[in-house]
């Protein structure tokens, strides 16, 4: 079905689809278009009011603790207290970290200059800031299912958009791709009956297929192992393939060749709490016809 409504554009370049008059009373249009539009307008109005009120304050809320007057959240009405716990953790962060390191956070409010770009899995158990102690301002980070980096020719994704900003604007010195034990995304990749692509409607499948070369090399090298062991193998293999995929981006390869950027792999095993780290050694050798030389160096095991 074609949309025959009007396209409006607000000052913030947001596009709104507005129903034509003959569609207004169509029940589906009312539910799917008009109500969301109405809600969107409310949100925009509230946001703009918020911007105005914040703009008049030099340091909004900096020294304040609770501001329960503004929000009636679920935990106050339905007995659901997860956000109370979250609120306490935030206030503890504010008291113990933010206010005690005010100078640092003032500088971070002006700009960021992280040394690391980290690509990690979306899995709730593998937060890099927690396991590696990365503090605010130290690592630009993107997390996706199975910590995959698509090759340059795959086109835009949120992962390579983050890479572009980290490498070209922030000038990070290191990119660290972290795999982990018991990865559900890798399990999905290894479970596919056919990784050559079909018309699957699964977003997960269509994403993890990015790692099909890691799956292929795992099947070749570890076919004698059990399925679970093959998955463990692929969890590390996919990190190496992501490191190779990083080199398909011309602006990443250029910085690596100049010695301004290093590419690292990591593997966090949360079953026995160990971390393995290695670095990609990449250069071109003229003696072999400008051939790429790729190896692993500096492998270390933290336990």
Q: Which position among 3, 46, 125, 299 bears the catalytic label? A: 125
Query: Per rule CB under 5 A, is residue 183 in the interface with Zn ion?
Result: yes
Looking at beta carbons only, is 208 or 247 nearer to Zn ion?
A: 208
183 is in an annotated binding site: yes
Q: Which position among 143, 183, 231, 234 bears the catalytic label? A: 183
- CA-based diameter of the chain, in Å? 74
Query: Per rule CB under 5 A, is residue 123 in the interface with Zn ion?
Result: yes
121 is in an annotated binding site: yes
Annotated catalytic residue 123: yes
Cα atoms in the Cβ-side hemisphere of radius 13 Å centred on 108 = 13
Query: Per rule CB under 5 A, is residue 190 in the interface with Zn ion?
Result: no
SS (H, E, C) 268-300: EECCCCEEEEEEEEEEEEHHHCCEEEEEEEEEE
Query: Per rule CB under 5 A, is residue 172 in the interface with Zn ion?
Result: no
DSSP 193: S
Looking at beta carbons only, is 143 or 264 nearer to Zn ion?
A: 143
DSSP 86: H
How is residue 42 written in tokens? 């409310």
Query: Per rule CB under 5 A, is residue 237 in the interface with Zn ion?
Result: no
Contact 173, 260 (CB under 8 A): yes
For residue 146, the minimal CB distance to Zn ion (Å) is 5
Annotated catalytic residue 69: no
Q: Cα(52)–Cα(200) distance, rounded to whole angstroms?
A: 46
Q: Which stretch binds Zn ion (CB under 5 A): 119-127, 203-211, 236-244, 293-301?
A: 119-127
For residue 174, the minimal CB distance to Zn ion (Å) is 21
Handedness of CA 109, 115, 116, 117 (dihedral sign): positive
Looking at beta carbons only, is 183 or 189 nearer to Zn ion?
A: 183
Positions touching Zn ion (CB under 5 A) are 121, 123, 183, 185
Question: Active-site residue numbers?
Answer: 121, 123, 125, 180, 183
């Amino acid at each position: 079905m074609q949309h025959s409504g009007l396209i409006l554009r607000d000052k913030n370049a947001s596009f709104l689809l507005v129903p034509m008059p003959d569609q207004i009373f169509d029940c589906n249009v009312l539910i799917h278009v008009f109500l969301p539009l109405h809600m969107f307008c409310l949100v925009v109005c509230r946001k703009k009011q918020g911007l105005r009120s914040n703009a008049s304050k030099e340091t909004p809320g900096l020294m304040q603790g609770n501001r329960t007057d503004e929000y009636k959240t679920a935990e106050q009405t339905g007995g659901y207290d997860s956000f109370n716990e979250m609120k306490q953790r935030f206030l503890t962060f504010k008291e113990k970290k933010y206010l005690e390191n005010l100078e640092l956070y003032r500088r971070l409010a002006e700009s960021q200059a992280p040394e690391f770009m980290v690509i990690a899995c979306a899995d709730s158990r593998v937060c890099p800031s927690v396991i590696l102690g990365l503090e605010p301002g130290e690592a630009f980070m993107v997390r996706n299912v199975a910590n995959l980096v698509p090759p340059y020719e795959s086109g835009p994704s949120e992962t390579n958009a983050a890479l572009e900003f980290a490498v070209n604007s922030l000038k990070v010195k290191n990119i660290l791709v972290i795999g982990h034990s018991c990865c559900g995304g890798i399990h999905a990749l290894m479970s596919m009956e056919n990784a050559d692509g079909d018309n699957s409607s699964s977003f997960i499948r269509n994403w993890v297929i990015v790692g099909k070369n890691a799956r292929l090399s795992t099947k070749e090298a570890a076919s004698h192992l059990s399925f679970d062991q093959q998955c463990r193998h692929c969890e590390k293999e996919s990190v190496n393939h992501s490191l190779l995929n990083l080199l398909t981006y011309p602006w990443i390869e250029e910085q690596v060749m100049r010695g301004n950027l290093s590419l690292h792999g990591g593997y966090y095993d949360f079953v026995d709490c160990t971390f393995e780290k290695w670095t990609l050694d990449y250069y071109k050798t003229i003696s072999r016809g400008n051939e790429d030389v790729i190896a692993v160096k500096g492998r270390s095991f933290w336990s």
